[in-house]
A and B are shown apart, each in its own frame.
Chain A
Amino acid sequence: MGESAFALQMNEVSKQFPGTLAVNKVSFEVRPGEVHALMGENGAGKSTLMKILAGSYADYTGEILIDGKPVQLHNPHQAKSEGVGMVYQELSIAYNRSVEENMFAGNIPTKGIFVDQEALRKQALASLAKVKLEDKIDPGTEMKNISQHESQLIEMAKVLNDNPKILVMDEPTSALSSTEVQMLFDIIREIKKQGVAIVYISHHLPEIFEVADRVTVLRDGKKIDTCDIKDVDNKTLVEMMIGEKIDDFVRSGDSETGDVILKVENLTHYGFVHNISFQLNHGEILGIVGLAGSGRTELGRCLSGADKVDYGTVILDDEAITVKSMSQMLEKGIAYLSENRKTEGLALRLSNKNNILSSIISRLSRFFFFLPKKGTPILQDQYEKLTIYPHDPEITTSNLSGGNQQKVLLAKWLSTKPKVLILDEPTRGVDVGAKKLIHETIVKLAEEGLSVILLSSDLPELVALSDRVAVMRQGHLIGELKKEDGFDENKVLLAANGERGVFSVEY
């Protein structure tokens, strides 16, 4: 090196998506041998920025320099050959194949016409040594027998094989235990010594302080600042991430909540969520917050019967329920709006009418016949309440905007007349107007007596809507923040990072 002080420089890089400027003239630079943390809330533009670096977009603007030399990163192959190595959050693994084959796919050593098994084994072991797995893993093992933590390290070894100058890691610790995180950090320090520049994306504040040298904070697609990690603490970082926001929605009036409607005790799904206990009142909105991989969605899936419940009691309206299936829970009055509307929530090629009525087919049936006419008043009711646009139930759902699709999904679950509605990321990927309307609807429903569990990573939303916020961490409910004690985004984010002393009630 030596020609340039920086391994990577990004100058006024922007990326436009239809409707939003996801990355807005962001400039930052990374030194060789430095761990540079990239932080920001969901939607701040971190992932988009890193995808630009990985060559996922051909239409970014601005300048990128690697080792002082301007480069074009218009496809993954270019990025790879310029020395950018990405360790993705979602790994691409061929589970039926061995470790060594996965590591050297497309580049397998041969002797004559046959695979050189010995050389392959040797290369694999040398590569595994870089991530300190050479004694632990036999390169011939099939990937499906490898734990997720080790798969992640193997993926990293695979990336290191190409001798990258810049190594990008996106939330590498979201599925790891604390000992495994320490192992990962040891490896990162090792790689650092070899002069590799590391870009480290994470939400976890303690990790950043442990491993990073400098940190760049993004908010709403813009760079806020780059600081030495020595010069900042938890509080300043959180403030930089959240900033002074104009509240796009404020919940008006005092929310009055009634008696207990749902009581959950020691709910457990082994390996996913453990010993979850909480209560929910009539007309209350309970926010549940947690970092990626904290078990938020898993809790929602257990409560709604989508996943197995191994142990624990669920008491709804004074009736103890053994959770068996999703249809049973719908019957009892718990509905779950899933996180991903395109793959789990809606049949995009069907009409809005068929989508909305799909949750109550059995209720609209007599003998063996489905009588969709009986659903017309329900449809009208939902269309009015949610102001779904355009006002025509026969339109194919895929033709609607994201916000209106989300409303159709909401209507689908509301038509089951639930007592408790679990909302998992109800406003992900919808525009500001639709977001506001969905927020208003949620509040209105709560005022009418519906109890809502809001699982969301959108902090402003969570803070604006919730009566209480419960915090999940590593599959456990660790405490809750009460509205009367005052909570804001800072407090919630600190709590989600496991900082004690901010809770109203600690479990």
Chain B
Amino acid sequence: MPDPSENWGVTMLKLNRELDKEKVLGTLNHNRIYVFLVIVVILMSIGAPGFMRSSNITPMLKTSLLPILVGIGFSYVMIGGNFDLSVGAMINVGALMVMGEFNRFYAIFGGEPAGAGAVVGAWIIAFLIALAAGSFFGLINGLLVAKGKVHSFIVTIGMLTTLSGFVYTYSKGNTISANSYLLVDIIEKPLLRVPYLEFFTMRSIITILVLVFFELLLVKTSWGRGLFMVGSNKEAAWQAGIDMERKLIWTFVISGFTAALGGILFATSMNAAVPNYGERGINPLMLVLASTIIGGTVMTGGSGSVVKTAVAVITIQAIFNGLIGMGLGFDTQVLAAGVLLGSVVLYEAYVLYKQSLRKGERPAMLPEAEELRHKHRA
């Protein structure tokens, strides 16, 4: 048996170099979404005339607001190692209930003759009820997954179906519009009439604040770090005394909350809500799922960021928008999103496969393995 220590130094150097390469690639992969965004913006600016105009950018970013909000909760759930497929239905719950409850309480408070006070009061109550509804349905999802130990796919598909029925019953299949235009004028009005800054409205600022709040909660607090541990290795988290079940339940509550909030803001910005939003065109669930994965959240949990999910939403919207600018249709949009998602998922699977091949490798034998490789190649 050859003594492995002879060429130890040389081989360790080589291994180190390889590690450095891996490190750089790893960092790049972690931040891949920013690279994607830059590439997409450059390509689209060249290929699609008028892409960079304020009149194009502003609506594009506004379309991203809803999926960004939904993506927050969706990413939380996925970091915990689960899926929430009910977010599409949660959006409709938020949208329809905020409209419906506003009308109900606006009427109770006396309607138009009662003046602005009735409008404000009714909106506040409607917002609270709609948010509570989303959080409540999220809580049920969470309890069934964490306490009932049912797979999150089954739980949330069940919730999706149930809530679809619920919103049709609630709205009787109709579009609901609010009986006051006061809020829509405030929430969608650009704060500054300056090109490129017209994007900043009450709605976009609320979205950004919520996004920042949940990013800080995730990255900067021990609660968020604990969630990462739970998603990464439940056994290790349990041994460290982290309350796993409660954390998982919270992720679903957050998902219900942010999806409902997305629906609420979307509906108030249009002053109308439909019970079948997302059933035509690009499904918000698909868009959010793709963004979360492309944004770098690991499908098995334990790693991810809501800001990166948001950037991924904008990237995909930029692709859609640019393709329209190039004169291509809806079919191509869906195709492009599918190809992008497919490549990223394939890449992730490839990395996992590569890791699994090296599992159980004896580090002590690596220097010799390197020598043998050389010899065998020659």
Contacts and interface: CB of A to CB of B under 8 A. Distances in A.
Interface in B302-336: 302-303
A105 B239 CA distance: 9
A145 B26 contact: yes
Given A96-B228, A115-B225, A144-B355, A177 B364 contact: yes
B244 to A, nearest CB: 11
A193 B33 CA distance: 51
Contacts of A96: 228, 231-232, 298, 302-303
A101 B228 contact: yes
Interface string B129-150: 0000000000000000000000
B226 interface: yes
Contact of B365 (A97, A147, A272): A272
B319 to A, nearest CB: 28
A114 interface: yes
A308 B353 CA distance: 13
A180 B232 contact: no
Interface in B340-378: 355, 357-358, 360-366, 368-369, 372-373, 376
B22 interface: yes
Nearest to A308: B357
A474 B233 contact: no
Interface string B219-236: 011100110110111011
A311 B372 contact: yes
Interface string A274-311: 11000000000000000001010010000000001011
Given A177-B4, A308-B357, A97 B229 contact: yes
Contacts of B221: 110, 113-115
Interface stretch (A10-18, A87-95, A198-206, A415-423): A87-95
Interface string B56-93: 00000000000000000000000000000000000000
Q: Specify the main secondary structure of chain B where it touches its partner.
A: helix
A94 B233 contact: yes
A180 B363 CA distance: 10
Contacts of A92: 233, 235-236, 239
Interface string A92-134: 1111110001100111101001110000000000000000000
Interface residues of B, number: 44
A310 B357 CA distance: 12
Q: Which of B228, B241, B361, B376 has the most chain A CB atoms inside 10 A of its CB?
A: B361
B361 A106 contact: no
A177 B309 CA distance: 43
Interface string A194-238: 000000000000000000000000000000000000000000000
B19 interface: yes
Nearest to B373: A270
A145 B363 contact: no
A108 B366 CA distance: 35
Contact of A106 (B226, B355, B363, B373): B226
Contacts of B1: 473-474, 476, 478, 507
B360 A272 contact: yes
Contacts, number: 124
B242 interface: yes
Contacts of B303: 96-97
Interface in A445-485: 473-476, 478
B360 A298 contact: yes
Contacts of A149: 363
A400 interface: no
Contacts of A113: 221
A176 B229 CA distance: 27
B216 interface: yes
B356 to A, nearest CB: 11
B366 A271 contact: yes
Contacts of B372: 268, 270, 274-275, 311
Contacts of A144: 355
B235 A110 contact: no
A271 B236 contact: no
A175 interface: yes
B364 A93 contact: no
A505 to B, nearest CB: 14
Contacts of B368: 274
A108 B363 CA distance: 31
B219 to A, nearest CB: 8
B237 A270 contact: no
Contacts of B226: 105-106, 108
B13 interface: no
A76 B4 CA distance: 40
A179 interface: yes
Given A176-B364, A178-B364, A274-B368, A97 B373 contact: no
Given A92-B235, A145-B22, A145-B26, A271 B361 contact: yes
B230 to A, nearest CB: 9
Given A108-B222, A311-B376, A76 B239 contact: yes
Given A177-B363, A272-B360, A94 B229 contact: yes
B220 A97 contact: no
B17 interface: no
Contact of A145 (B23, B233, B242): B23
Contacts of B365: 270-272, 274, 474-475
Contacts of A76: 239
Contacts of B239: 76, 92
A432 B368 CA distance: 42
A53 B376 CA distance: 49
Nearest to A95: B232
A272 B362 contact: yes
Contacts of A308: 357
Contacts of A93: 233, 236
B209 interface: no
Contacts of B369: 270-271, 274
Contacts of B220: 114-115
B240 interface: yes
B225 A148 contact: no
Nearest to A108: B222
Contacts of A478: 1
A195 to B, nearest CB: 25
A262 to B, nearest CB: 22
A180 to B, nearest CB: 7
Interface in B178-237: 216, 220-222, 225-226, 228-229, 231-233, 235-237
Contacts of A311: 372, 376
Contacts of A272: 360-362, 365
A102 B357 CA distance: 24
11 contacts: A92-B233, A94-B233, A96-B228, A105-B226, A105-B242, A106-B240, A106-B242, A107-B241, A110-B222, A271-B362, A271-B369
Q: Which 10 A-B pairs have the closest CB atoms?
A: A177-B364, A106-B240, A94-B232, A105-B240, A96-B302, A270-B369, A94-B233, A271-B361, A92-B236, A96-B303
Given A147-B363, A310-B373, 14 more contacts: A76-B239, A96-B228, A96-B298, A97-B303, A106-B226, A106-B237, A145-B22, A175-B362, A179-B8, A268-B372, A272-B360, A275-B372, A293-B362, A310-B376
